[in-house]
Amino acid sequence: MTPVSQFTAPGGGPGSDVGRRIAHSRTQAGLSRAELAHAVGADPSYLRYIEEENAAPGTAVLLRIANALGVSLAELRGTAAGYPDGRGRAASEPVLEEMDEAECRRRIGAHGVGRIGFTTEATGPLILPLNYTVVDGELTLRSTARGPLAGVAGGTVAFEVDRVDEALSAGWSVLAIGVLRHVTDPARAKALERAAWSGAWAGRDRTTWFTLRPERLTGRIIRT
């Protein structure tokens, strides 16, 4: 029999979006399931049920989970997904600092989502979101064979990655500038495919590989 709880409300589904967001935020926060369960006063088995099974926690427990994870209730529910980051008010005394190259590389990490920016005569300035994987110090990206990236391969582009902490009104951004290169060697393309953390978020038809080795890597962080 599926377990029930006083915190359960109707509307959940197998692998519910709320459960997946909780599991993702917990991993991002570096908390084990037992640690989060202790923080919110719940049984670890119930937290597993929320994350993996057919459950939709009520507002009271969901708010405790959000507070323990340092995220908003809207983020866990997904109602903030249609709006830009940074809708909260600025902190009273923020500190803006520049990051060195080593810290920039650490912040970018091994994979994520960023924005590539470039200018062409046909389009003018253009900025596109892309997920990436870092391989041997290079940002590796996927697009279509005749898409915008193919048209600017061989030229200088900018790639920006950022993160906003709504709860603390803090955040950081890293900017990589370098030459975008089209991967034409089939063996290299297969190697990048194997190393990729994820498929292209925008669709499986994006099978053409590009690389960007940063010639300049800068970043800033707002601390509160």
Instruction: Give 102-158 pLDDT, tens digit per residue.
Output: 999 999 999 999 999 999 888 899 999 999 999 999 999 999 999 999 999 999 999
Split at pLDDT 50, 70, 90, the class of 15 is low
Calculate helix-pair angle for 33-40, 17-29, nearest 10 degrees. 100
Distance CA(196)–CA(110), nearest Å, equals 10
Shared domain check, 99 and 33: no
Is the confidence at residue 49, as pLDDT, over 80?
yes
pLDDT of res. 72: 80
In terms of residue numbers, what domain contains 37? Answer: 17-77
Q: What CATH number is attached to the domain comprising 61?
A: 1.10.260.40
- Minimum mean pLDDT range among 3-17, 31-45, 55-69, 149-163: 3-17
pTM over 0.85: no
Alpha helices in the chain (DSSP H): 17-29, 33-40, 44-52, 59-69, 73-77, 101-108, 148-152, 186-195
Residue with the bigger pLDDT between 174 and 74: it is 174
Query: Is residue 89 one of the residues assigned to a domain?
Result: no
Shared domain check, 206 and 100: yes
Shared domain check, 71 and 107: no
Other C-beta atoms closer than 10 Å to the C-beta of 7 total 19
> What separation in angstroms does the CA of 122 have from each of 126, 128, 142?
10, 15, 21
Which tens digits make up the pLDDT trace of 183-211? 999 999 999 999 999 999 888 889 999 99
- Among 20-34, 39-53, 84-98, 146-160, top mean pLDDT goes to 146-160
Shared domain check, 65 and 23: yes
pLDDT of res. 165: 80
Is the confidence at residue 1, as pLDDT, over 50?
no
Shared domain check, 196 and 99: yes
pLDDT of res. 60: 87
User: Is residue 13 a contact partner of residue 54, using CB atoms and an 8 Å limit?
Assistant: yes
Q: What CATH number is attached to the domain comprising 123?
A: 2.30.110.10
pLDDT, the chain, mean: 87
Is the confidence at residue 10, as pLDDT, over 50?
no
- Minimum mean pLDDT range among 70-74, 89-93, 109-113: 70-74
Query: Is residue 133 one of the residues assigned to a domain?
Result: yes
Shared domain check, 67 and 143: no
What's the domain count of the chain? 2
User: Tokens standing for 124?
Assistant: 């003018």
Residue with the bigger pLDDT between 181 and 170: it is 181
